[in-house]
Structure 1
Amino acid sequence: MIAVGIDVSKSKSTIAILSSDGQILAKPFDVQHTEQSMNDLISQLRSYDDSVKILMEATGHYHLPVLKKFLETDMFVSVINPYLIKKYGDGEMRRSKTDKKDALRIATYVLEKSYSLVSFSSREQKYSDLKFLSAQYNQRISTKVKNRVYLGNILDETMPGIEKILNTNNQKPEKNLFFLFIRKYKSFDSIKAMGQKRFFNSYSKFAGKAGCRDYQAKCLRIYELASNSITTRGSDYYTVLAQEQCLDLVIQSHVAATEIITQMRSIAETLPEYSVLHSMHGVGDRLAPRIIAEIGDVRRFTSGKALNAYAGNDAPPYQSGQFESQNRHISKRGNPALRKVCYEVMQSLKMHKPQGDPVYLFIHKKEQEGKPLNVAKMAGVNKFLRIYYARVKELDK
């Protein structure tokens, strides 16, 4: 067997090649992520009169070009969690880190652990697309939250307390009363300059077009708040400009996130497990595609326990001698995005309290046993993932 270790970095990789007895067949060398360089490497590996096993670490998207070329040639290639290689290297007495030594370390791992390596099989394009879109969605939401905070900071100076009267719901931006109000009235200084009668007439027409109910009571509250507030920023050009820009960024990121989740839903609806997941309590149109995106093909897991381990929601046993720990914590060595979206499902269950749902009843039971709220919710995540796994596996029978 020929063991090939690949230490991947941006635009290039370092390759180490060992024989079955540990002899270095080729000193570690660099290969660029180009068609010509990768074809030369594949030709070199095929020239060896023995089976070849290739191992590389999962490094975001940097390893994908290398992986794609090997998959096209049907060579045995395995992708491993970088943490396993890190722990493997912890056994060395003299620690040092270079790309060449990392490549040799990975190749040595192939020799010692070849029996446990699993050949990488490319996921279906739908799962790959969902994973990509999920990352984009999370970025847009992060951008929206940051800009929403910036907008709130400006409003604390121009319209302090306005958010207590006009709530920021999840309506479409063009129908969001809060956004429309900020864009129209700019600041409390502008409202005070209008005077009570003129503002009442203006707000009545504005609220009528926006479809707002009880606008008369809100109008009075807003004017009283504006009259009693001390503003530190007014309706000057640069303040209005900054506020408008923040508002535009919030709206743009909201629209972008909505468009992405719509595309994710259209892809997820074509998968058989979507109907199973969507039928579970607490999972709606936004959460279902995101869960499938983070899990991928759930059939690749051997059990519900393995799925929980992938999410980092497992609590590995700890025992030594006569001691066996009874107070264990989840490992958190897994997919944090999956844990987060599943936690949102648990929050939805706590809000709506579906009495016939086994996951909600399990959370409630744990809370009655005195478990902290977050511990009870993560226990609910464990049960949720097990149920989801079992129901999807039933589809294949």
Structure 2
Amino acid sequence: MTVAFGLDVSKATSAVAIVNDGVTVKQFKIDNNWFGFQNLLKEMKEYAKPQIVFEATGVYSRRVQRFLEDNHYAYTRLNPLAAKKQLDSLRPNKTDNNDALHLAQTQLVIKRRLEYYQKPVYHDLMDDSHFYEQLNEDVVREKNRLHRSLQLTFPEIESLLSRPDGEQYWNIVQRYPHPDLLEELSPDGLGKIIMETTPKNISLNRAIMVAKKLLHLAQASYPADRVEAPSVSQTRYHAKRVSELTRHKQQLIKAMTALAKSLPEFDILMSIPGFAETTTVLLIGELGDIRRFSSSNKLNAFIGIDLRHYESGEFVAADHISKRGDTFARKLLFRTISNIATVAHYHPNHINDFYQRRKKQSPQSGTKRIAIAAMGRLLRTIYHLVITNQMYIYGVKRQSF
């Protein structure tokens, strides 16, 4: 006797269908809360090892997922695109009840693979990584807004330091977003203020040098808005927001590092030249437990760098990557290839060897295309090291990568 539970999960409720050897036993609806899950648990306990399948619906299906894991039930979480392809021919009338029923019916035929159980630490790192990405986007947005408002209040201040970035710069902008605020200040007095408000200790001489340059920029400035204009307070606000968001990012990386250090792959990834703590913890957060992939090709597909080939008749299109996977992970790996190439002079590695060799062999291919090929080589390396629990050593078992 094979029993399948199909769940169509929405925001507040889930449609449930129970199919026993192809016969529909029961269909009902539950609320996605403690009471609803207890009703579902009561039904599942009626059967030994029921097959449970539901379609991933973002944050809405996470409650169902936790409920099943807390009660030690194996389940199949179906990708929405895969579900659409598998169920389209069965959906003349699409309803939640029909979707749940079709999921249960097809589960008995297709025998879908069970979801790999990942420790809670991987889910925590994944959530933190996604939040880090949001903070990154917020920082970029606030920096753009700060730049715009400074063009109205004190555009010259952006040339004060080597680049308009960092805690010292943002603190100065918050205090002096308009050149009129610097009137009647002496270089020595302003230097002391800058030294006291700089997070990292700097010498008084250095602070006075910065103060002199700031005063010179203020004398040359002719801002678009008066010192009483709303844009001045807006500039202060954006500078403060950039500073706060950047500190939050740093605190988040520290928390993620503390979590990730308990995982064996942390030290493995850190052994690869070009990997720093930030790169390592973010990559673990995006990839999760790599052991759940049966091959490195599936890891490539998860990232979205698997090749797509198309031909029809005599026409053969150029191969291109699918880009269906994790966008942030692709960006992270792309930057990592650059880091690996940078440190290769002191820390040689076969990833950079491959990258440089391909650049010489195919200079017309373009740096981006070659970097993507190197990303595939890097993922194969990571997969091999994690599966075999080995540290990276240049030249050792290179043929296995």
Q: TM-score, normalised by structure 2?
A: 0.84
| C-alpha contact (below 8 Å) 2:30/2:39 kept by paired residues | no
Q: Which whole-Å deviations, capped at 9, do the CAs of 1:251-304 have from their partners, x for residues lacking one?
A: 221111111110111111121111111121221121110111111111222222
Q: How many aligned positions are there?
A: 382
Higher mean C-alpha deviation, range 287-296 or range 386-395: 386-395
| C-alpha contact (below 8 Å) 1:312/1:335 kept by paired residues | yes
Q: Which residue of 2 aligns with 1:10?
A: 11
Q: Which residue of 2 aligns with 1:62?
A: 60
For 2:81 and 2:65, the matched residues in 1 are separated by 19
For 1:239 and 1:121, the matched residues in 2 are separated by 53
| C-alpha contact (below 8 Å) 1:203/1:219 kept by paired residues | yes
- 1:111, distance to aligned residue in structure 2 (A): 2.9
- 1:219, distance to aligned residue in structure 2 (A): 5.1
Q: Which residue of 2 aligns with 1:385?
A: 379
- 1:322, distance to aligned residue in structure 2 (A): 7.4
Q: Which residue of 2 aligns with 1:77?
A: 75
For 1:251 and 1:217, the matched residues in 2 are separated by 23
For 1:394 and 1:51, the matched residues in 2 are separated by 32
Task: List runs of 5+ in structure 2 lacking aligned partners.
Answer: 392-401
Q: Which residue of 2 aligns with 1:343?
A: 334
Q: Which residue of 1 aligns with 2:350?
A: 358
| C-alpha contact (below 8 Å) 2:304/2:324 kept by paired residues | yes
Q: Where do residues 289-308 of structure 1 align in structure 2 (5 Å cutoff)?
A: 289-308=281-300
The AA in structure 2 aligned to 1:284 is: A
Q: Which whole-Å deviations, capped at 9, do the CAs of 1:230-264 have from their partners, x for residues lacking one?
A: 31123216333222222222122111111111011
Match of 2:115 among 111, 120, 123: 120
For 2:91 and 2:123, the matched residues in 1 are separated by 40
The AA in structure 1 aligned to 2:301 is: A
User: SS in structure 2 opposite 1:334?
Assistant: coil
Q: Which residue of 1 aligns with 2:26?
A: 26
| C-alpha contact (below 8 Å) 2:171/2:239 kept by paired residues | no
2:196 is equivalent to residue 205 of structure 1: no
- 1:340, distance to aligned residue in structure 2 (A): 2.0
| C-alpha contact (below 8 Å) 2:19/2:104 kept by paired residues | yes
Q: Which residue of 1 aligns with 2:249?
A: 257
For 2:145 and 2:230, the matched residues in 1 are separated by 15
For 1:125 and 1:341, the matched residues in 2 are separated by 23
Higher mean C-alpha deviation, range 128-137 or range 357-366: 357-366
For 2:91 and 2:132, the matched residues in 1 are separated by 44
2:222 is equivalent to residue 230 of structure 1: yes
Q: Where do residues 45-194 of structure 1 align in structure 2 (5 Å cutoff)?
A: 45-47=44-46, 52-91=50-89, 94=92, 97-114=94-111, 117-168=112-163, 176-191=167-182, 193-194=183-184
User: SS in structure 2 opposite 1:63?
Assistant: helix
| C-alpha contact (below 8 Å) 1:312/1:334 kept by paired residues | yes
| C-alpha contact (below 8 Å) 1:311/1:334 kept by paired residues | yes
Higher mean C-alpha deviation, range 333-342 or range 347-356: 347-356
| C-alpha contact (below 8 Å) 2:17/2:100 kept by paired residues | yes
Cα distance change of structure 1 residues 13 and 228 upon mapping to structure 2, 3 Å threshold: same
Cα distance change of structure 1 residues 253 and 62 upon mapping to structure 2, 3 Å threshold: same
- 1:160, distance to aligned residue in structure 2 (A): 0.9
Cα distance change of structure 1 residues 66 and 216 upon mapping to structure 2, 3 Å threshold: closer
For 2:322 and 2:244, the matched residues in 1 are separated by 37
Match of 1:332 among 293, 309, 323: 323
The AA in structure 1 aligned to 2:178 is: S
| C-alpha contact (below 8 Å) 1:189/1:231 kept by paired residues | no
Q: Which residue of 2 aligns with 1:287?
A: 279
- 1:169, distance to aligned residue in structure 2 (A): 7.3
Cα distance change of structure 1 residues 390 and 354 upon mapping to structure 2, 3 Å threshold: farther
- 1:384, distance to aligned residue in structure 2 (A): 0.9
Q: Which whole-Å deviations, capped at 9, do the CAs of 1:346-379 have from their partners, x for residues lacking one?
A: 2323555547222223223333312222212211
The AA in structure 1 aligned to 2:97 is: K
| C-alpha contact (below 8 Å) 1:354/1:360 kept by paired residues | no
Match of 1:245 among 233, 237, 244: 237
- 1:223, distance to aligned residue in structure 2 (A): 4.2
Cα distance change of structure 1 residues 93 and 18 upon mapping to structure 2, 3 Å threshold: closer
